[in-house]
Amino acid sequence: MKIARRVTEVAPSLTLEITSLARKMKEQGGKIVNFAAGEPDSDTPEYIKKAAIEAIEQGFTKYTPAAGWPKLKEAISKKFKKENQLSYSPEQIVVSCGAKHALYNILQVLCEKEDEVIIASPYWVSYPEMVKLAGATAHIVQTQPQNQFKLDKRSLASAITKKTKAVILNSPANPTGSVYSQDELEEICALAVERNFYIISDEIYEKFIFDGKKHISCASLNEEIYRRTIVVNGVSKSYSMTGWRIGYLASPDEKIIQAIKKLQSHSTSNPCSISQKAAYQALEKTDKTQMQKMLKSFQERRDCMLRGLDEISGLSYIKPEGAFYVFCDISQLKLDSITFCRKLLEEAEIAAVPGEAFGRDDYIRLSFATSRNEIEEGLRRLKKWVTR
């Protein structure tokens, strides 16, 4: 029996595969340094876990409305207003099973067979596959390290066709750590307004932004951009809640929201009620000081990683300004990224993600969402291995 082409044409998620392989090797006693992790290493904070335990004890264990628990949507609406200067009513918000699910839903409701979605390469592994799953075509635009791997007006303009339905923006970006400035966003988004296509803005790494830079949510730039933008965010990365599976999207376009609600009501129904209570607690009860502490620790880890990489000849990188990854150029070492990462894992017990997953076979992605000790140990091994 044949499996549907829609699925056979899609590649498995290399990021998730490598992360679970590294975890398995560690459980079996391997001294793996995990530079593959796409999630913060710390546990979910106690006050968030407690809210989930209380939810179970109080019987908050039934279906909620398919598009999310109204109180959580209110908290998200408040968050958008306070942190992003964006005004969305709870009815303009849908809570889903992770930001990944929110993105999947958006592409499913927007895309027809003949449509194209513009994606800047290097891209997060799932974007092109999700576009394919929606039956549309991913129009990949190459970006350059000299330009911090950012999409600019010229490269975007040259990719626009009559079939362009949307562009996916991701700032701070996975895997490059690039952060778009207000001017850069204004330029790109102006094109979406002019040529009439949607902007899907994935802001999942919003809290991981270094050197005093500020996150700008492109929908806040002006009314026309706001109308064309669907913003995606979630609690996975910001509150160490990757396993709880809560993400959300917002749009002022009622047709889009209604379509996504319909799709979700027939696919997953509501995201886990207990996780929704926990996410509510995360959004309502986390204070600025806690977030600043987390950010400080991630910036120190980034700096530690970069200092170590500076001492390894043959590897170069663009300094990440956000997220928790360094995208490393391995072209001088004359191995493709999959062979490089396989050997690195077998010979030095370091897990890293091949750049191939993000559209660049001459790069690897190193995550610094791990302890300082582990980063230092990993760099020692990496230096020895590369030198040899």
The binding site for ligand GLU (CB under 6 A) comprises: 13, 15-16, 38, 100, 124-126, 174
- Rounded (10°) angle between helices 254-267 and 99-110: 110
Q: Pick between residue 134 and residue 379 the one whose CB is nearest to ligand PMP.
A: 134
Closest contact distance (angstroms) between CB of 29 and ligand PMP is: 28
Q: Please state whether beta strands 363-367 and 325-329 pair in parallel, antiparallel, or not at all (unpaired).
A: antiparallel
Buried b (16+ CB within 10 A) or exposed e, 154-188: ebbeebbeeebbbbbbbbbbbbbbbbbeeebbbbb
Closest contact distance (angstroms) between CB of 89 and ligand GLU is: 29
Give me 300's structure tokens.
């120190």
Residues at the contact surface with ligand PMP, assessed by CB under 6 A: 38, 98-100, 124, 170, 174, 202, 204, 234, 236, 242, 247
Q: Pick between residue 44 and residue 170 the one whose CB is nearest to ligand PMP.
A: 170
What percent of the residues of the chain are helix, what percent strand, and what percent coil, each to the nearest 5?
A: 50, 15, 35
Closest contact distance (angstroms) between CB of 125 and ligand GLU is: 6
Closest contact distance (angstroms) between CB of 204 and ligand PMP is: 4
C-alpha span between 123 and 363 (Å, rounded): 12
SS3 109: helix
Closest contact distance (angstroms) between CB of 255 and ligand GLU is: 28
Q: Provide CB contacts within 8 A for 64, sequence distance 6+.
A: 270, 273, 276
Closest contact distance (angstroms) between CB of 364 and ligand GLU is: 13
Q: Pick between residue 90 and residue 355 the one whose CB is nearest to ligand GLU.
A: 355
Binding partner of residue 170 among ligand PMP, ligand GLU, none, CB cut-off 5 to 8 Å per kind: ligand PMP
Q: Pick between residue 174 and residue 201 the one whose CB is nearest to ligand GLU.
A: 174
Binding partner of residue 13 among ligand PMP, ligand GLU, none, CB cut-off 5 to 8 Å per kind: ligand GLU
Backbone angles phi, psi at 234, to 5 degrees: 175, 180
From 68, 69, 49, select the one nearest 240 (Cα to Cα): 49
Give me 29's structure tokens.
């006693």
Q: Pick between residue 104 and residue 348 the one whose CB is nearest to ligand PMP.
A: 104
Binding partner of residue 247 among ligand PMP, ligand GLU, none, CB cut-off 5 to 8 Å per kind: ligand PMP
Binding partner of residue 125 among ligand GLU, ligand PMP, none, CB cut-off 5 to 8 Å per kind: ligand GLU
Backbone angles phi, psi at 233, to 5 degrees: -155, -175
> In the beta sheet, which residues pair with residue 209?
322
Closest contact distance (angstroms) between CB of 179 and ligand PMP is: 13
